[in-house]
Amino acid sequence: MDYLKIKLEKIPRIGLRYAPILKKLNLETVEDFLLHFPFRYEDYSERIEIADLQAGEAATVMGEISQSKMVRTWKKKMMITECFVSDETGTVRAVWFNQPYISDSLTVSKGVRLSGKVSEDRNGLFFGSPAWELSSRTPTNTGRLVPIYPETEGLTSKWIRWQMQNLIKYADALIDPLPENILKGLHLPKLSEAVKSLHFPKTLQEFELAQKRFAFQQIFLVQLATQKVKISWDKQNAVSMHFNEELIKKFVSDLPFTLTDAQRKAAFQILKDLEKPLPMNRLLNGDVGSGKTIVAAIASLNAIKAGFQVSIMAPTEVLARQHYESICKIFASYDINIGLLTNAYKLINNFEFPILNFESNQNDECLKIKTLKIQSKLEIKNSKLQSIKNNKLSKEQLIAELRNGNIDIIIGTHAIIQEAVKFKNLALVIVDEQHRFGVAQRAYLQQQISKINDGLPGKIPHFLTMTATPIPRTLTLAYFGNLDLSVLDEMPKNRKSIVTEIITHSKRKEIYDFVEKEIASGHQAFIIFPLVEESEKLTELKAATQEHEHLSREIFPKLSLGLLHGRLKSTEKEKVMQDFKDKKYDILVATSVVEVGIDIPNATIIIIEDAERFGLSQLHQFRGRVGRSDKQSYCFLFTGSKTTKAKSRLGAMEKTSNGFKIAEEDLALRGPGEFLGTRQSGLPDIAMEHLANAKLIEIAHDYAEQTLLDSPDLGNFPLLQKELGKFQANIHLE
């Protein structure tokens, strides 16, 4: 009989009463229950003598009950159970409130263990509602490392521990998916031993080894998943594009600025990748303002002049439009047709070259094309498009233009990889802020790109992914193990360092005066708030909408203030940002929607309210909204927090503007779950806790590589193959 597959409702003491509650935690079988791990432990392992107890400490004592009684308080009508426990060194009192049933078990002369926090009142030291067990029982809730489990209404950790004690014997039936050579090589315990040690560790070392085993297993599975994608990707063919050195040298020399060494190195790596008949699969990891767009433009130009199409994809319409404007400016003097494909955009701009803007129409589901301020006739080969305002272009016609190759670069959201969109010869796909698509979509995104209708039989596009959030090397290896890496860790030479300062309440007026002076000299400012409106849980935080009114009336009555938050429609956000860019507003009051996607070179000040509420990496992203020109810029971190921890965290922002150093500090302070965004991480807690362990990740990476070398389809490791399938289904890496 397979005891592991027994339904929990069939287990005595669980039955139909608790099974539905356990199902809320996705626990349906004995195996599910055994793999429901604690998320922390109370350390009651050290037993001390009663005479050595001290107030404020957690402790475990063992002795005999010398006195036990139950009393009712008149004022609160509360039942209090009180007993006195004695050992050879003394006596201590223990008190429980409204748990009258305890007095039936704790009778005089019985041996008992107590674990909990020691308090003190006028009658001396006492335990307040401690965990207790008869000393004749095997320690479960006292006298050990006591596991605390994820709970739900109707279930306590104590109840789970009792059930676990009854079911833990079935752990011996668990089949270990990790090959024996890996377990021996790393001196890791077998699955059955590790499960027992996680639930009921005898020592801290035993628990740490079991946790390390599961952390390795989960990171190893992630590495297998990403490397399998890499192996599959490397078997594909791509077009080989000659590195047009003369063209690129001229393009670079014509730029109004000098490339950094990091930009040159990254561009060279990408151009050499494009020469290979194997598809490029590279991550361009750069800091805010480090110049990723120009590197992507160099790769795009090389591909277009080799006769191929390029697609640039962003996770939001705002970012797509930002890229569209940048690419249009960069290639203003080149004969390149650039299209923008998003759900709904109304562009307002003054570019003196063709603008293609596709805007959904709710009535006839058509796409409109607008051409604004065009000096010459818009000519596209084999195209019926004319430079007539409000000319309608059906979705089918748009797809036809892409399929005919009349659009060289198409910029947009994930709509680009929809099945209906076909190309003539798409050879390069660039995805910006790929981590914002979510961990769950990454491998899927890459697979979709490999299936894209690129018009090149037997080939798939080269793939470049970019991120403006500096990712520490550890996380890069863990999450992007299937990608080659280029790092932009230098800033352009003409950029002045942004002055960053922590501002307490007493200096507010001084900063507001400074803002007015900067605006009087022609500059603009951002003021960032953590949320849009007051919530019951965060009533102390200023809501952006209310603060916008307050700032407009009380602080800056002579200035024009705009308001931007996440609940605005895309078109409304777009208008606010465009108005700010056009200097219709002096100050933009905003929530975290400005973290990426808005480039205002004229803005020189950013004020971040309640700065301690944000992670360091997010604060660094905010700071990157200013300092985007040669003007001196300032970042003021407003905080009311007086804690040493908050001051220390924010102090890191004052000390350095290096995004990679800040990201490493953020990772160390908040852990990988918060750094990445827990909902996006996809990984179980144990793996998340160990993602800062570079050595463990490197070991997992190497073992995954060797395992797939020995058996690319894992056919030689059927248990591991099955476990990988379950793992991918649960965390949706594919």
For the ranges 508-512, 647-651, 681-685, the lowest mean pLDDT is seen at 681-685
Domain containing 637 equals 499-656
Same domain (yes/no): 18, 68: no
Same domain (yes/no): 125, 168: no
555-561 mean pLDDT: 95
pLDDT at residue 181 in the model: 92
Same domain (yes/no): 105, 4: no
Report pLDDT digits (tens) over 57-82: 888 999 999 988 888 776 667 888 89
Same domain (yes/no): 96, 175: no
Same domain (yes/no): 144, 162: no
Residue 363 has pLDDT above 60, yes or no: no
Which tokens go with 595? 């973290």
CATH number for the domain spanning 49: value is 2.40.50.140
Alpha-carbon distance of 203 to 208, in angstroms, equals: 9
Report pLDDT digits (tens) over 130-157: 988 888 887 888 888 888 888 788 888 8
> Considering the domain boundaries, does residue 579 fall inside one?
yes
What is the pLDDT confidence band of residue 733, given thresholds at 50, 70 and 90? Answer: very low
Same domain (yes/no): 539, 648: yes
pLDDT at residue 477 in the model: 65
Same domain (yes/no): 48, 188: no
Q: 713 — phi, psi (to 5°)?
A: -100, 5
pLDDT at residue 364 in the model: 29
- Nearest 5°: CA angle at 688, between 687 and 694? 80
> Considering the domain boundaries, does residue 13 fall inside one?
yes
Taken in order 645, 650, 656, 658, the sign of the CA dihedral is positive
pLDDT at residue 360 in the model: 34
Q: Which of 175-179, 528-532, 688-692 has the highest mean pLDDT?
A: 175-179
Residue 407 has pLDDT above 50, yes or no: yes
pLDDT at residue 572 in the model: 83
CB 286 within 8 A of CB 299: no
What is the pLDDT confidence band of residue 682, given thresholds at 50, 70 and 90? Answer: very low
Same domain (yes/no): 158, 179: yes
One-letter amino acid for residue 320 of the chain = A
DSSP lists the bridge partners of residue 64 as: 86, 111
Report pLDDT digits (tens) over 582-641: 899 999 998 877 655 567 889 999 999 989 888 888 898 889 889 888 889 999 999 888
What is the pLDDT confidence band of residue 1, given thresholds at 50, 70 and 90? Answer: low
- Residue matched to tokens 């539905």: 20
Alpha-carbon distance of 390 to 372, in angstroms, equals: 10
Same domain (yes/no): 514, 628: yes
Q: Name the pairing type of β-strands 367-369 and 392-393.
A: antiparallel
Same domain (yes/no): 193, 50: no
Alpha-carbon distance of 19 to 321, in angstroms, equals: 51
> Considering the domain boundaries, does residue 613 fall inside one?
yes
Alpha-carbon distance of 284 to 428, in angstroms, equals: 14
Put simply, whether the predicted model's pTM sits higher than 0.85 gets the answer no
pLDDT at residue 146 in the model: 85
Domain count along the chain:
3
pLDDT at residue 381 in the model: 34
CB 719 within 8 A of CB 180: no
Report pLDDT digits (tens) over 215-244: 899 889 888 988 887 888 888 899 999 999
